[in-house]
Structure 1
């Protein structure tokens, strides 16, 4: 019996030793890292060389860490040197030091590969099995990051935002890269930081604000899929697709260019060169040890598959520039926020086109409330030619407008316009259109498709009226269209700027005109909300306010959709556009 006890005891000790050696090695964490190498915001705290547990919401796990990688908790008062298997939580910030890289996988399988000298935070994480929603928000202030977004059928809604200083880009694809650097550093192209928002599946575009260091520059690369990039300084938008790049500067957006193979290869190498790519990748076997970390890493097979995918994408044929529709061509809609100088600048009225206007001729926008007043413009000359008001008289003449193109594709163009010069009426009152107004138009679909169900998504813009020139709001749009029943459902539009916002949410059906590619809705359908300085009121009852939405489908087979919207709640008024720039078949 004693011999058996000794054998059992020795076996237990050996098992314990083997278990200890099977855990991630923590002793080497942070080795050789001096205080000067630590990011400035962390130099006042002790960087642990062991994992620090968190009570926050788990978001993912670090799969690879090369060199010195630091994970800081939400308040930046706790941090540790990271190792493969460490869990990442919502509100964590990941710092990679010089010549360091890391890769982490989110719980819903999206993969983020981080290059050196990068700072990226997980600001929000949602993985809701019940509502079939996945969402991740990031705040990125410097460095290079490659994002691999997974299109999983178990999710009905999938969104991702990458928050960097001054723009918004909607992402539709599986692989894209973002670089944020100082203007003092050498970059392949110059640009201004951007927001990136995943618009795959039936994603709703979300907005965020950041306060990065001045003089930063962002380049955006579409390695697989489509993106639209909006500069919030000029409100310009343009699309890029697989193999294309663009940038955003204080002066506006840079050109869309074919990503040189050398740039693509260098970018992918500098961010780690591995991830799940666009094919779903392999699986990761993970177990949790007593320290709260996971010990699993990707299989070698998965890494090889990713490398092969990247090499294939690098040598893809260079795409051509997208065909464009010129501003104010074809047919479409426009809005107007009218001011009057009546013993000081005041609001006069909100106007919107109720039917598609032929931009090759005279176009008209009517009063939001249905009163018989209007703004008339001449499309070819891009000038305001007439205004009929309730009490201030009639303007008749010609005043040129200033147009800012916000975006275009093969079948549509959209943008903003102003006419800031005084337009004097017949009773000697001056009118102005100095708040940013909007237009959307192009090649209207000749005949509505009879089959298919599709999800549309894209950018949205709007202006909250003010006597100081208005507050421009940016955001996004999504909708589902069933061409078999000729109905639009789950129509969602939201724009915001700080404490000001406007949104339209119509979960029910919007009928598409029989035999015609047009649709409309008002405040009695769904929920219309206008928030001013953080105070909101719903305008979904006629007595509480007014709201109108008018739109059409564009392209020979309804490839795109666009609409103008306007709403009034009390003394507050807003108007804008919603663009369905991307279309994909609905996932059951």
Structure 2
């Protein structure tokens, strides 16, 4: 009887040990660290739990990051890439895998549900460009080694479709492809004008009341990005602006800033991008002492 009890206890210990190892195996991959924060930042976990983050908090694969209306938040990922979220943003880290010695395992996919961000390419995006993707409701953003700003404005499907149709009807793609590179600052009038087909004249496309038309807006600050959807694909190089109003119509180049505004606090600008060896120590003194788990 004693032998049977010992055997049962041993089996139970082995089972619990295996269970613990399995739990560790399925633990979420740490993707990066919050280095700068100007207000509340929330991480919604895949199981539905919510965590309030502070500077030095870790973000993980599967997290949906949510910034409040006055919050800018910068994340430094383990490959030295950076992403700064603007207020009112919801962005999910669908997958993130990086190992300096195993480039074949690279993976970085994100989902911008709404709001905006500035992204700076790190090691992963430089050595495996095809392994990076940012999905939005109207197009997927691919990179070619770059710094870019993306902003998605949600709206009713009717608004998106009607404006996108008007945009594609108005744009002359050959004209757009030959637009000069612009260094226009990241502020400007709402998108209400597009070049008319076959001419240098301008066609007015009215935005919905209360702001810009819904859709994805992009600005390339350095390098190149690619927007792809079911309607087609378009490359955007440094200084260019783009718009994708529907997942069924091709993205287009727009000739001037469509109203993208990105103004994080000055302390955020002290880092100019990935700098190997700097570590994740944030600049400034905006740390928050408590973290809700």
With structure 2 as the length reference, what TM-score do the two structures score? 0.60
Matches within 5 A, 1:351-430: none
Question: What is the Cα deviation at residue 245 of structure 1?
Answer: 0.8
- 1:267 aligned residue: 262
- 1:111 aligned residue: 82
Secondary structure of 1:139's match?
strand
Q: Tell whether 2:170 aligns with 1:173.
A: no
- 1:127 aligned residue: 98
Matches within 5 A, 1:176-195: 176-183=148-155, 188-189=190-191
Q: Deviations over 1:40-69 (max 9, x none)?
A: xxxxxxxxxxxxxx9421111111121111
Q: Deviations over 1:96-144 (max 9, x none)?
A: 0111111111011110100011111111011123322433111110001
Q: Deviations over 1:302-347 (max 9, x none)?
A: xxxxxxxxxxxxxxxxxxxxxxxxxxxxxxxxxxxxxxxxxxxxxx
Do the aligned partners of residues 181 and 127 (structure 1) sit closer, same or farther apart at CA in structure 2, a change above 3 Å counting? same
Is contact 2:35-2:75 (8 Å) kept?
yes
Gaps of at least 5 residues in structure 2 are 1-25, 160-188, 193-212, 286-293
Question: What is the Cα deviation at residue 255 of structure 1?
Answer: 3.9
| Higher Rg | 1
Runs of 4+ in 1 over 6 A off after TM superposition: none
Provide the C-alpha distance between the structure 1 equivalents of 2:70 and 2:133, rounded to a whole number of angstroms: 26
Question: What is the Cα deviation at residue 281 of structure 1?
Answer: 3.5
Matches within 5 A, 1:468-507: none
Q: Deviations over 1:229-252 (max 9, x none)?
A: 2332xx222221101011112373
Is contact 1:283-1:298 (8 Å) kept?
no
Question: What is the Cα deviation at residue 86 of structure 1?
Answer: 0.5
Matches within 5 A, 1:45-444: 55-76=27-48, 78-133=49-104, 134-151=106-123, 156-158=127-129, 159-183=131-155, 188-189=190-191, 216-232=214-230, 235-250=231-246, 252-253=249-250, 255-260=252-257, 263=259, 266-269=261-264, 274=269, 276-277=271-272, 280-281=274-275, 283-285=277-279, 296-298=281-283
Is contact 1:115-1:272 (8 Å) kept?
no
Is contact 1:101-1:271 (8 Å) kept?
no
Q: Deviations over 1:177-206 (max 9, x none)?
A: 111112389x9338xxxxxxxxxxxxxxxx
RMSD: 3.5
Question: What is the Cα deviation at residue 217 of structure 1?
Answer: 1.4
Provide the C-alpha distance between the structure 1 equivalents of 2:266 and 2:138, rounded to a whole number of angstroms: 23
Provide the C-alpha distance between the structure 2 equivalents of 1:178 and 1:272, rounded to a whole number of angstroms: 21
With structure 1 as the length reference, what TM-score do the two structures score? 0.32
Question: What is the Cα deviation at residue 168 of structure 1?
Answer: 2.7
Question: What is the Cα deviation at residue 71 of structure 1?
Answer: 1.4
More strand by share: 1
